[in-house]
């Protein structure tokens, strides 16, 4: 079995590695490290928040390794109770426990010369951690109820969304096991720290879930997605796009669809999406910009409320007196008759003098 030699990414656009997508520098580093790890045979610990793509990285490491033709066996250590997990990993012999009428080989055996992926390794109990340490150190384990040690030649890849170094002093994770696992380590960065990847991932999931239909996304909706913090990372996005594609019929997904189907992803209605403002390379005059922004928002609020100052002040979370005082400061009284005619042509519905002078 010869080691595969690959460039960091093999596809011409350099935006994918296997099923992994990303063009940010952070993801290109992940691609690069994934291939380096795939070329070695050492145990590796993959860390990262939930939904960042740890399992995808583990699979890619396997697929690009010399073990690719052998099984990839994933075990979720967090989803199975301890005694069942031991049985799952090590197998048992006949009579090992009540009801064990036949022997059964465990996942270490099923993995053969392939890769065993121990997902959510941080959730294992100290007793199981001791057994795993033995497997990692000696490559040996005993099936439940057996005195005969078995050997495994599988490669170990583990993943966790916990900080295991913090779990060590708390007595929740064995230090010796940690160092055995983390001979190589790879951290998958959260999506909010690599926002350049968001449009690419959105396009990828749109295509995946749309089937034969063409589905697009409006710029404002994309801006909202780019500004979101994605606490559930790529998995959260995958689920959202599936929901949007399934529950809407129109070709273009709008910002209103996000408001309706985006769960808790919308910014607070009284807040704004600052990610759409980028500091120009030659900087800005911040005080001037704040003044201009304030004036523009006041004009828009007055327009939307057809000159009704009380309603416009409410839209901006200002009290009416402050709003009128600022109208004066910005010279907005003169603008009202020209820009704020109501749709029925009767001008401001506010009973006040639109210049604010009467209040």
Ligand X SMILES: Nc1ncnc2c1ncn2[C@@H]1O[C@H](COP(=O)(O)OP(=O)(O)OP(=O)(O)O)[C@@H](O)[C@H]1O
Task: Out of 238, 242, 260, 303, point to the residue binding ligand X (CB under 6 A).
Answer: 238
Strands 91-92 and 104-105: antiparallel
| Binding status of residue 63 toward Mg ion by CB under 5 A | no
| Binding status of residue 28 toward ligand X by CB under 6 A | no
> What is the spatial distance between Cα 112 and Cα 126, in angstroms, rounded to a whole number?
26
Query: Of residues 99-158, which lie at the interface with Mg ion (CB under 5 A)?
Result: none
Task: Out of 18, 53, 122, 356, point to the residue binding ligand X (CB under 6 A).
Answer: 53
Task: Out of 8, 26, 39, 55, point to the residue binding ligand X (CB under 6 A).
Answer: 55
Residue with tokens 């710029």: 219
> What is the spatial distance between Cα 37 and Cα 261, in angstroms, rounded to a whole number?
39
The string over 210-243, giving b where at least 16 C-beta atoms fall within 10 Å of a residue's C-beta and e elsewhere, is: eeeeebebeeebbebbebbebebbbebbbebbeb
Quickly count: other Cβ atoms within 10 Å of residue 139's Cβ: 15
| Binding status of residue 35 toward ligand X by CB under 6 A | no
In the complex, residue closest to ligand X by CB: 53
| Binding status of residue 245 toward ligand X by CB under 6 A | no
Find the shortest distance in angstroms from Cβ 301 to ligand X. Answer: 41
Complex with ligand X: residue 48 or 354, whichever CB lies closer: 48
* Residue 253 backbone dihedrals phi, psi, to 5 degrees: -80, 130
Residue 229 CA, distance from chain mean position: 8
- Looking at the DSSP assignment, which residues form a beta bridge with residue 104? 92
> What is the spatial distance between Cα 267 and Cα 274, in angstroms, rounded to a whole number?
10
> What is the spatial distance between Cα 75 and Cα 86, in angstroms, rounded to a whole number?
11
Structure tokens at 113: 């010369």
Calculate the dihedral angle through the C-alpha atoms of 164, 166, 168, 173, rounding to the nearest 10 degrees.
-40
Query: Of residues 143-162, which lie at the interface with ligand X (CB under 6 A)?
Result: 161
Task: Out of 44, 47, 51, 190, point to the residue binding ligand X (CB under 6 A).
Answer: 51
| Binding status of residue 238 toward Mg ion by CB under 5 A | no
Strands 252-253 and 216-217: parallel
Query: Of residues 28-57, which lie at the interface with Mg ion (CB under 5 A)?
Result: 55
Stretch of 63-71, 126-134, 209-217, 232-240 contacting ligand X, by CB under 6 A: 232-240
| Binding status of residue 187 toward Mg ion by CB under 5 A | no
| Residue 61 site contact among Mg ion, ligand X, none (CB < 5 to 8 Å, cut-off depends on kind) | none
| Residue 152 site contact among Mg ion, ligand X, none (CB < 5 to 8 Å, cut-off depends on kind) | none
Size of the residue set binding ligand X (CB under 6 A): 16
Find the shortest distance in angstroms from Cβ 131 to ligand X. Answer: 23
| Binding status of residue 190 toward ligand X by CB under 6 A | no
Complex with ligand X: residue 21 or 255, whichever CB lies closer: 21
Task: Out of 234, 240, 298, 301, point to the residue binding ligand X (CB under 6 A).
Answer: 234
Residue with tokens 């064995």: 174
Interface residues with Mg ion (CB under 5 A) are: 55
Interface residues with ligand X (CB under 6 A) are: 19-22, 48, 50-56, 161, 234-235, 238
């Amino acid at each position: 079995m010869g080691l595969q030699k690959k460039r960091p990414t093999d596809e011409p656009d350099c935006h994918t590695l296997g099923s992994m997508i990303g063009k940010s520098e952070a993801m290109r580093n992940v691609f690069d490290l994934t291939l380096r790890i795939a070329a070695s045979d050492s145990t590796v610990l993959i860390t990262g928040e939930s939904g960042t793509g740890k399992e995808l990285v583990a699979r890619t490491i396997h697929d690009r390794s010399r073990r690719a033709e052998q099984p990839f066996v994933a075990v979720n250590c967090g989803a199975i109770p301890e005694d069942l997990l031991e049985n799952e990993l090590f197998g048992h012999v006949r009579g090992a426990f009540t009801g064990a009428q036949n022997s059964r080989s465990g996942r270490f055996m099923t993995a053969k010369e392939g890769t065993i992926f121990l997902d959510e390794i941080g959730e294992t109990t100290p007793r199981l951690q001791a057994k795993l340490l033995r497997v990692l150190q000696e490559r040996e384990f005993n099936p439940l109820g057996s005195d005969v040690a078995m050997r495994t030649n599988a490669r170990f890849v583990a993943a966790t969304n916990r900080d295991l170094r913090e779990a060590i002093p708390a007595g929740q994770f064995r230090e010796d096991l940690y160092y055995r696992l983390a001979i190589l380590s790879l951290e998958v960065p959260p999506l909010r720290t690599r926002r350049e990847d968001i449009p690419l991932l959105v396009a990828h999931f749109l295509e995946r879930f749309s089937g034969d239909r063409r589905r697009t996304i409006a710029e404002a909706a994309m801006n909202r997605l780019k500004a979101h913090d994605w606490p559930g990372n790529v998995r959260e996005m995958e689920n959202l796009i599936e929901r949007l594609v399934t529950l809407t019929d129109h070709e273009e997904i709008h910002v209103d669809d996000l408001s309706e189907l985006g769960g808790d992803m919308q910014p607070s209605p009284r807040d704004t999406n600052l990610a759409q403002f980028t500091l120009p390379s030659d900087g800005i005059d911040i005080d001037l910009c704040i003044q201009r922004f304030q004036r523009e928002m006041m004009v828009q609020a007055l327009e939307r409320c057809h000159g009704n100052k009380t309603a416009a002040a409410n839209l901006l979370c200002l009290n009416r007196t402050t709003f009128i005082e600022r109208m004066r400061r910005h010279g907005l009284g003169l603008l009202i008759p020209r820009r704020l005619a109501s749709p029925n042509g009767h001008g401001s519905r506010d009973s006040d003098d639109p210049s604010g002078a009467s209040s």
